[in-house]
């Protein structure tokens, strides 16, 4: 997201009573944006997003614990997110942005990158594992040439709130029997960009089109595409920033796994039927920039057809 500027400024947010509130599993925690400044000297502030860090201790039970990847850990902590009461509505809606696939929203919204370095798998072995999980709630289009032109004035968010709906304890124990979360707390900072220009950029919103699909189905229809919105006063027919089908991996609500896809077509995007799936994914991988090696087939028990996409959410 840092393309045209030298750096951001950060503003600590609070719940009204604390800037480091304790999180309760199964309950929401709300950060208020009303203390956030709207300008500095002769420069206006634009809100690029909200940076959140959740700290705690993840305890695994010996004999029943399950190794927990870092991206799975997020959905065990967060059920859903919402940024509401902004001047233009609810750009991050609890109906559309779930913890099970927020990592995709964050990854694309931040320009095919993460705001911090990920950790590896939390072991299944008995033990108490302290963690700090930082994530970005993007409020602009990080994949555009000039992301700051899609950010809106901080003034538009003066009455807004970030609500973090903490996942119930049962979500964690279902994935890893006997596991517990303790000492959960959070901090949140507004990511502000000072700019000498005043402009009204396009609002950026993330929408989950929930269309049931079954095994063997060859056509999936997206009803009211571009018309579902939680924003106020917007015209019908939105421009599409990113469109991606959700798989069933790591708890996502999709109906298939990526390695079962054998052909793909999108007629209204002039994409003819394609059975060479890696070529379709190549554009996304190239947009991500330099990639790490994924090892050879000798490092895998069985060679997997989708190994070339390792590392993409």
pLDDT digits (tens, 9 = 90+) for 6-50: 789 999 999 999 999 999 999 999 999 999 999 998 999 999 999
At 101-159, the pLDDT tens digits run 999 999 999 988 888 888 888 999 999 999 999 999 999 998 877 888 899 999 999 99
pLDDT digits (tens, 9 = 90+) for 269-282: 898 998 998 887 78
What is the mean predicted confidence (pLDDT) over 161-181?
A: 97
Average pLDDT value for the chain: 87
Confidence of residue 295 (pLDDT cuts 50, 70, 90): low
Rounded to two decimals, the pTM is 0.87
pLDDT band at 193 (very low <50, low <70, confident <90, very high): very high
Q: State residue 311's pLDDT score.
A: 52
CATH hierarchy code of domain 9-213: 2.70.9
- What pLDDT score was predicted for residue 309? 53
Average pLDDT over residues 54-79: 94
- HEC string for the chain: CCCCCCCCEEEEEECCCCCCCECCCCCEEEEECCCCCCEECCEEEEEEEEEEEEEEEEEECCCCCCCECHHHHHHHHEEEEEEECECCECCECCCCCECCCHHHHHHHHCCCCCCCCCCCCECCCCEEEEEEEEEEEECCCCCCCCHHHHCEEHHHHCCCEEEEEECCHHHHHHHCCCCEEEEEEEEEEEEEEEECCCCCCCCCCCCCCCCCCCCCCCCCCCCCCCCCCCECCCCCCCCCCCCCCCCCHHHCCCCCCHHHCCCEEEHHHCEEEECCHHHHHHHHHHHCCCCCCCCCHHHCCCCCCCHHHCCCC
Instruction: Determine the pLDDT at residue 306.
Output: 46
């Amino acid at each position: 997201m840092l393309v045209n500027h030298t750096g951001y400024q950060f503003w600590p947010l609070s719940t009204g009573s604390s800037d480091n509130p304790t999180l309760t599993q199964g309950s929401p925690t709300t950060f208020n944006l009303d203390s956030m400044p709207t300008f500095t000297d002769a420069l206006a502030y634009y809100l690029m997003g909200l940076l959140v860090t959740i700290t705690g201790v993840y305890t695994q039970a010996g004999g029943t614990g399950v190794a927990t990847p870092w991206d799975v850990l997020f959905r065990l902590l967060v059920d859903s997110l919402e940024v509401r009461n902004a001047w233009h509505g609810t750009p991050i809606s609890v109906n559309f942005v779930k913890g099970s696939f927020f990592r995709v929203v964050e990854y694309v919204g931040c320009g095919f990158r993460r705001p911090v370095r990920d950790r590896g798998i939390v072991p299944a072995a008995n033990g108490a594992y302290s963690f700090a999980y930082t994530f970005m709630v993007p409020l602009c289009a990080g994949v555009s040439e000039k992301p700051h032109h899609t950010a809106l004035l901080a003034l538009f968010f003066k009455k807004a709130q970030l609500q973090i709906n903490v996942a119930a304890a049962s979500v964690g124990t279902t994935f890893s029997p006997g596991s517990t979360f303790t000492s959960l707390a959070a901090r949140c900072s507004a990511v502000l960009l000072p700019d000498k220009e005043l402009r009204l950029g396009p609002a950026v919103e993330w929408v989950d089109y929930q269309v049931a699909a079954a095994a063997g189905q060859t056509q999936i229809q997206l009803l009211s595409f571009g018309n579902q919105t939680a924003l106020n006063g917007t015209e019908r027919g939105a421009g599409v920033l990113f469109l991606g089908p959700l798989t069933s991996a790591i708890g996502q609500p999709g109906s298939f796994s990526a390695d079962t896809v054998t052909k793909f077509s999108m007629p209204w995007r002039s994409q003819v039927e394609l059975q060479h799936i890696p070529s379709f994914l190549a554009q996304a991988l190239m947009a991500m920039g330099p990639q790490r090696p994924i090892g050879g087939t000798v490092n895998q028990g069985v060679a997997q057809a989708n190994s070339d996409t390792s590392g993409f959410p």
